A = this chain, B = another copy of it.
C-alpha cells in the first residue's frame, strides 16, 4: 500500500484516522499484547462514519435515540477505545487508554459492556456483535413504530471481520435481518483477507457479497481506505430499505511491516517497526500524544450531535406525561407498578383452582397476564411456538408491515435468537424473551453466557426440560443442562414446580435488572402444589419448606420442577410408615445462595435427618445441598439421571430410569 499516496490524497482525513492507528500501536505496545492490525485497517471507515454519519453526543452517551456502533470484531477494541477517547467520552481518559488490558482498567482486551459508556455490547466471541446488532435494529423498528420517528429514529452500525462471518451464528443473524428488511442496519465487512492462521483462502472461499445478497441484503463494495467512497456507501446504505453490507477492502496493519499478514492481526510491539510505520504516516508526536488540532477536531465530532440531542429532548418533553413516564420506565428496566398485584391475583386464582398443567402452559398463563400490561416485552421462539407456549393471545407477529408486532418467529435459529435478544435488551426499551427446548440451550450457549457476563436480563424460556419430553429421545432430552446454566455465573435458573412458582419465577425474571434468567419448564402436566395462597414470592428465597415433616423429622427431600410432586408423593409413602419427611422446593439455587445463613439453616437444618435430592438431571452440583456447607455431617442420596435419556413415552422413562416416589422413599429408607 502506498501510504504516501493515501496521505497526499486526503491529508486531513489521513491524520485524523491515523490518530486511531497511533493510539492503537502505543496501547498495544504498552500492554505488550493485543490486536493492532484491525484498528489500523479500519481507521478510515470509522473516521468517516463518526465524522459524517454517526448520530451521537459524547457528553450524553445514554441518549436513547443515538445511533449504535457495534464492534463485532471485538479484538480490535483499540479502535473503539480510540474513538471514545478522541471524541471526548468522559470516562475514556488517556490514562485508561494507557492502561489497556490492565487490572481495573475499563479498557479490557475486548470491549466489555458496562466498563465504559459507548461500549454498546461485549464482543470478542466472534459473530456475537453482528447478531446483537440485528436485535438492536429490531428494537429500533419496534420502538419507532410505537413511539414515532420523533422519539426513535436511529441506525445500527456494525463492523464485522472474516471471523464474524465464518461463525455460523452470523448466517442466522443475516437471515433474520434479510427476512425482516432491517433497513437501518448497516454492517461494514472488514475485508482484509487475513485470519490468525493465514490468509482467508486457507479455510474459506465463500463469496460474501453473493452470500449476503442471497439473504436479502443490499451490498456495496468499496475501497475501505477511500474516505469519499466510504461516505458515499454509507449515504447509499442509509437510503436503502434493506439491511446493507458494505464490503470494505482493507489492509490489515496498514502501513506497518506486518501489513497484509496474519502477524499483523496480533500485537505489533517491535519498536523499530513502530517507528518506521509512524514515520511513513507522518505521525511525529510521542507515544499517546495526539496533536492538539487533531484532538480538537475529534472533540468537535463528539459534540456535533449535541444540538440534535437537545432537539430530541425538546420533542420528548412535548410528549404527554404518561408517554414520557413510560419511555423513561422502559429504558430504566422498571416494571409497571401493577405487575406485582396482577401476579398475586393470578397466584391466588391458581391456588384455588389447582389445575394440573405443564409448566410451559403455566408460563403461557403468566404471559397472558404480563404481556398486556408490559408493552416492552417482545416474545418469540426458535420455531417451537406451540411447544414453548411463548405467544400470548394479544401478541401479533413482528413483520415488515407490522413493526408494532411483539412476537418474533425466529426460525430454527436458537443462537441467533439468543444473540439478537441480547441486542434488544442492550438497546433498551425492550424486555426480550424467547423459547426453545431446554436441550438446545447448547445451541444458544455462547449468547447466554454473554447475557450473564454483560449483566442484562434476557429471559430464556426453555421447555421440555427433562426425560419428560418423551419419545423424541435423548437428542432432545436435557440431562446436563440445568448443571450447565447453574455453573454459569450471574444466571438465575428457575425450575418451578407448578403454576404458582412459574408466576413467581416470571416476576423475578422481569424485575431482575442485571441477571438473565433461564426458565426450565416441563412438557408434561404437573399438579398444583402451592394450594395455599401466599402473597409473598416464595421463589424469591430460592428454596423453602413446601411441606413440613409430621412427627420427628427423619428425612428432608430436596427437589425442583416436575420432581417436587415426586418428592411430595414420596413423602406420603414415608409418612405412612411413620418417617417424618420434610419437602423443600428449590426453584432457584442462586437465590437460595443469596439468602442469609440463618434462613438457609432453617430450610436445611443440621442434625441427623437424611437428605435426598430429586431431579431428573445429573447430580453435579447437588452435593452442595446434600452434604451441607463445609461438609457438615449428613447422610445423603440422590435420585436422578446418570446417563443420557431414551426414546419412549415419558411415564415409561420415569419408571425405567427410577425417578419415582417409590424409588425416593426407598432411597430414604436405605439411608436411615
Contacts and interface: CB of A to CB of B under 8 A. Distances in A.
A415 B443 CA distance: 9
Interface residues of A, number: 121
Contacts of A631: 611, 626-628, 631, 633-636
Interface in A163-217: 163-164, 166-172, 175-176, 178-179, 195-198, 200, 202-211, 213-216
Contacts of A471: 31, 33-34, 101, 109
Nearest to A31: B471
B484 A101 contact: no
Contact of A474 (B104, B112, B170, B470): B112
A295 B33 CA distance: 68
B411 A203 contact: yes
A175 B204 contact: yes
Interface stretch (A330-338, A346-354, A563-571, A638-646): A638-646
Given A110-B475, A197-B385, A168 B166 contact: no
A134 interface: no
A468 interface: no
Contacts of A383: 163, 166, 195-197, 203
A621 interface: yes
Contacts of A171: 168, 170-171
A273 interface: no
A181 to B, nearest CB: 9
A631 B103 CA distance: 40
Contact of A476 (B110, B206, B210, B488): B110
Contacts of A202: 397, 409, 411
16 contacts: A101-B647, A101-B649, A103-B647, A104-B648, A175-B206, A176-B203, A179-B203, A196-B385, A207-B216, A442-B446, A483-B484, A487-B618, A489-B644, A621-B621, A630-B671, A633-B633
Contact of A210 (B213, B446, B671): B213
A624 B625 CA distance: 11
A102 interface: yes
Interface string A604-633: 000000010000001111011011101101
A478 to B, nearest CB: 10
A244 B409 CA distance: 30
Given A105-B647, A112-B475, 4 more contacts: A178-B206, A483-B621, A619-B624, A627-B631
A531 interface: no
Interface string A586-603: 000000000000000000
Nearest to A633: B633
Nearest to A108: B647
Interface stretch (A121-129, A299-307, A495-503): A121-129
B172 A168 contact: yes
B103 A653 contact: yes
Nearest to A107: B647
A605 to B, nearest CB: 14
A253 B602 CA distance: 58
Nearest to A381: B197
B108 A473 contact: yes
Given A167-B443, A446-B442, A486-B620, A472 B652 contact: no
A416 interface: yes
A450 interface: yes
B207 A214 contact: yes
Contacts of A136: none
Interface string A111-122: 010000000001
A101 B104 CA distance: 55
Nearest to A126: B412
A482 to B, nearest CB: 9
A231 interface: no
A622 to B, nearest CB: 8
Given A169-B168, A620-B486, A178 B203 contact: no
Contacts of A410: 203
Interface in A418-465: 439-440, 442-443, 445-446, 449-450, 452-453
B479 A453 contact: no
Contacts of A446: 440, 442-443
A41 interface: no
A112 B210 contact: no
Contacts of A108: 473-474, 646-647
Given A74-B475, A112-B647, A627-B631, A487 B487 contact: yes
A224 interface: no
Contacts of A411: 166, 195, 197, 200, 202-204
A454 B222 CA distance: 47
A308 interface: no
A210 B208 CA distance: 11
Contacts of A125: 439-440, 442-443, 475-476
Nearest to A262: B386
